[in-house]
Homo-oligomer: A and B are copies of this chain.
């Protein structure tokens, strides 16, 4: 009905990209050609069969699931910890952490790593960030490994100050002072919040 082979193949490619779950049968109907034609088209465009496409999508999914699970409790990998004293974690900046337009890591990831470490270093059931003063001192590029070092500087009744400095190589990229609340039954104003 429509157009040349070329046209059809372009539309085919787009259609499958948008909905990888479509069968050759369905495509044949949509473009009113035979299934065989669709198969020839897929061959020429080297588009794999339905099941392979689905599998590919599923595998991609499994990969990020593994990636997103450890994020559950701590962002970055803790490589050293002395409770109530200090801790070190590393975080590798991948493409999903950066702005697409300039490849610079988005601040909340640096914050999350630091905040998470501040929570982890506290030897208590519950630790929440009350306030924080932070500085992003250098941009961080994709592919960098950020090493965050947390030090507990003061500790009073229910309140602990944690200083975190993050480095890429020997460059300071982030500094933050976190005022943490520990294990109180969270109730009133300026007493609470997250950590990680």
Contact = CB atoms under 8 A, between A and B. Distances in A.
Interface of A: 20-21, 51, 54-55, 57-62, 72, 75, 99-102, 104-112, 115-116, 125-126, 128-140, 173-174, 186, 189-196
A136 B193 contact: yes
A110 B61 contact: no
A20 B136 CA distance: 42
Oligomer: number of copies? 2
B138 A128 contact: no
A7 to B, nearest CB: 27
Nearest to A72: B100
Given A104-B186, A104-B193, A139-B194, 16 more contacts: A20-B58, A54-B58, A57-B58, A60-B61, A106-B196, A108-B194, A130-B135, A131-B135, A135-B190, A136-B190, A136-B193, A136-B194, A138-B191, A139-B191, A139-B193, A174-B193
B126 A136 contact: no
